Structures are given as structure tokens and as C-alpha cells.
Amino acid sequence: MTVHTKKDNDTTTISVQGRIDTATSRELEAVVNQEINNCTQLIFDFKELDYISSAGLRILLGARKLMSKRGMKVINVNDTVNEIFEVTGFSYILDIERI
């Protein structure tokens, strides 16, 4: 998994490439931890994300809690990841933009 962060004024975009799973989620958690208090809008760009496990869903849900009064969305969601959001009910929780 590779994580890139881009800042544009008060918006932080975290782009993730590869797989978010138990083995890699701590790295993403550390990036979110570093960025989450320094932005008013947080965007997860999943254009190059292949898979997200439950460990990754927890990070999204945790981030959403903190960003609830600011803004958070998940963009460029592909079919594979979208299927996971739908099967788990997360499509009702997260602000999602598909590819």
C-alpha cells in the first residue's frame, strides 16, 4: 500500500494505492492521525485502491466521527470497493463518489 497526501488550502486529500488490510492499516491510521486536525475537508481518493478490509473501514468510520462537523468524502470509488461499502451498509454512512 502507498499513501500520498495533498493539501489544498483547508482541504487534505489522502490518496491510497493498493490494499488496505490488517497489515497496512496502521500506516494509513498514522497518516490520518497526522492530518485530521489540520483540515476542514478530508478527502480519501480511492482511484487506485484495490481492496479495503474491515480494518480500513474502521479508519474511515473513525475519521468520519472526527470530521462530522467539518466534511469528509470518499471519491473515485471503484466497483470492487463499492461492493464492500454496499454489502456492509457503509454506503449509507459515507459520502461516496464513484468513478
Sites of contact with another protein (CB under 8 A): 21-22, 25-26, 29-30, 32-33, 36, 53-55, 57-59, 61-63, 65-66, 84, 86-93
CB of 32 to another protein, least distance (A): 6
The answer for residues whose C-beta is within 8 angstroms of residue 14's C-beta and 6 or more apart is 3, 4, 5, 28, 31, 32, 35, 42, 43, 44, 45
Cell numbers for 35, please give them. Answer: 492530518
Smallest gap from Cβ 86 to another protein, in A, equals 7
Q: Which is nearer to another protein, 66 or 99 (CB)?
A: 66
How far, rounded to the nearest angstrom, does the alpha carbon of residue 24 sit from its chain's CA centroid? 13
Q: Considering beta carbons, is residue 61 or 99 the nearer one to another protein? A: 61
